[in-house]
Structure 1
Amino acid sequence: MGSIPEKALGSTGKAIPLVGMGTAVYRSAPSETKDSVLHAIKVGYRHFDTASVYNSEKPLGEAIKKALQIGLINSRDELFVTSKLWGNNAHPHCVLPTLQQTLKNLELEYLDLYLIHWPLSMKPGNFEFPVKKEDLLPMDYASVWKDLEDCQKLGLTKAIGVSNFSSKKLDDLLRISTIPPAVNQVEMNPLWQQKKLREFCTEKGIHITAYSPLGARGTPWEVCLRWIYEQGVSVVVKSFNKERMKENLAIFDWELTAEDIQKIDQIQQFKGVPALEFISDEGPTGLSWSCGMRRFNSD
């Protein structure tokens, strides 16, 4: 199988593989995560997406270490590793020690990409699900982002970015940033196409990575992945099924027909809102300051 196409991330000097493996599979044992990552490396994956909240950083790091030992890869530099800052540590002066802990978990010297997971903070130390309304706090964007910029300057991450940010929140962030976000990772699929957000990010030089790529019910998975690829967007897929891992990489040697594209353009849009699994019934959707969870990326 040929190598996965990549796309350069602005002026960072890094290139992100356009298909990556997600590790947010909460019910999986660490040993299963490790074995699945090893198999993914074997079949050609080079981008691995994790987060402090996924509890998959340690098994991912163990898999990378094992892959180096058995010769699946020659150096850590062959991989692109993304992790994310959860809201309980999205506070001034918490970012650096949190990233350092992530690197310790992964047994790595640096990340390729570090993202703010959601544009909100939570009470420091809170790490419970579902998240309670009273534990949610507005984020001090300027201070938190400055801390991420400092992490990049220290060489602890090659690039920094955000996840689940609307165009308005991105615009606010760009006004106060010295280093602009390289990536915005958001839900995107034929059922939730993010047209306005994609236009904004293209204009500002921000790359989009899609999660939940198979959100369109009844749409063949390969069509969903190919459609995302044809938008110039990278994608994170979550499957520990060995055959599906391989199939997810078989989207580069064919194209959608004009009829396929026309049908996809006509799909009624509906956001899947996977984040609501983390929010309690009295959660933030009705709060005036909140991120507008139900239509978070629409503005």
Structure 2
Amino acid sequence: FSSRANSEVVLDVCVQMGYRHFDTAAAHGTEEAVGKGLKKGFVDGLVKREEVFVTYKFHLLDAGEVRSAVEKSLSALQLEYLDLCLVQSPSKLLKSCTYPPNQRESASLPSSVQEIWEALEDCVQSGLTKAMGVCNFSAKNVKEILESASVVPAVNQVELHPMWQQKQLREFCQSVGVRVSSWRPLGGQPPLSVLNNSVIKEIAETHGKTPNQIALRWLLENGVISVIQSYDPEKLLEYINLFDFKFSVEDLEKLASLDQDLPFYVV
């Protein structure tokens, strides 16, 4: 969920449709709305706390600020614990910069990810979050974490879709026991959206599906967790209806051979 006034209402619709993973971030400013929506679902008996998975992301802070940031998010979400807490970037943003950073701003500073990781490990030990992970980390960044980590990152959330497949990163993460998640599963803005790709559209027509569904199913079959965003109930229903078709070998070969366009976020 990103910053929108109707996040609470949309979350209620998502719960009723069967969505159970909810991803939010300090930069999105939606924790309070998500918390209210989840609480409504709990009170109405639509879902139990143990049946939902809540992910929270934060940018690099000073190590002493990590616990307070997690506790602040829990308070806004009205939860006793997070299921997953992610460090949103390997770079530390200046507190004075906007988000996303303006290209003219000197937006990042060197920071010890290891110190932040140790502070987040303390949050796991304290029961504030069940698991921890990273966002937008390259294989090199993940290796640096693993050199000193007591807790292995559960997830690396990156930009990943059929037109930016990140095969080497996926293979590396799999080799060290890190799951991969995509925060941009449907590509970038036109013409880099999956909606504009002729191969994906052709495969979609063959199966009576949409290009979005082809992209999401491809991620699913490659073991990648998709984090999707929409405030349209019809789109939300479209995104979850992925289990009534299968790719042919030819489909998978075509998708594997797609041109790889530059990503929105380079790590």
Q: TM-score, normalised by structure 2?
A: 0.88
Matching of residue 47 in structure 1 with residue 21 in structure 2 = yes
2:253 maps to 1:262: yes
Aligned length: 246
Highest RCO, 1 vs 2 (Cα 8 Å, sep ≥ 6): 1
* 1:179 partner SS: coil
Aligned equivalent of 2:236, options 234, 242, 245: 245
Which of these residues, 55, 58, 65, is aligned with residue 82 of structure 1?
55
Instruction: Measure, in 2, the Cα distance between the counterparts of 1:160 and 1:85.
Output: 11
Structure 1 residues 135 and 265: alpha-carbon distance in aligned structure 2, compared to 1, 3 A threshold: closer
In the TM superposition, residue 135 of structure 1 has moved relative to its aligned partner by 4.2
Determine which of 97, 101, 122 is the counterpart of 1:131: 101
Residue matched to 1:186: 158
Please give the root-mean-square deviation of Cα atoms over the aligned residues, in Å: 1.4
Q: Percent identity?
A: 37
Specify the code of the residue in structure 2 equivalent to 1:256.
Answer: F
Which amino acid is 1:128 matched to?
A: T
Say yes or no: does 1:167 pair with 2:142: no
User: Bigger shift: 93-102 or 243-252?
Assistant: 243-252
Q: Is the 8 A contact 1:91 1:121 kept in 2?
A: no
Alignment correspondent of 2:83? 112
**Structure 2 counterpart of 1:54, which letter?**
H
Alignment correspondent of 1:214:
186
Show the 5 A alignment for 1:92-111.
Answer: 92-111=63-82
Report deviation, 1:126. Answer: 3.3
Match of 2:8 among 24, 28, 34: 34
Q: Within the alignment, does 1:121 sit opposite 2:92 as a pair?
A: yes
Q: Helix, strand or coil: the match of 2:156?
A: strand
Q: Distance in 2 between matches of 1:102 and 1:60?
A: 11
Quote how far apart the aligned CAs of 1:121 are.
0.8
Decide whether aligned partners of structure 1 residues 64 and 130 sit closer, same or farther in structure 2, where only a CA change above 3 A counts: closer
Q: Give the superposition deviation at 1:151.
A: 0.4
Structure 1 residues 213 and 174, CA gap change in structure 2 (3 angstroms): same
Spell out, residue by residue over 1:243-269, the C-alpha distance to the aligned partner (whole angstroms, 9 max, x if none).
111121111232111121111111110
Tell me the equivalent position of 1:285.
none
Mapped to 1, the partners of 2:217 and 2:100 lie a distance apart of: 34
Counterpart Cα distance in 2 of 1:246 and 1:127 = 37
Deviating 4+ runs (over 6 angstroms): none
List runs of 5+ in structure 2 lacking aligned partners: 188-193, 201-210
User: Which residue matches 2:206?
Assistant: none
Q: Which one-letter code corresponds to 1:240 in the other structure? A: Y
Three-state SS of the structure 2 residue aligned to 1:209 is: strand
Matched to 2:218, the amino acid is W
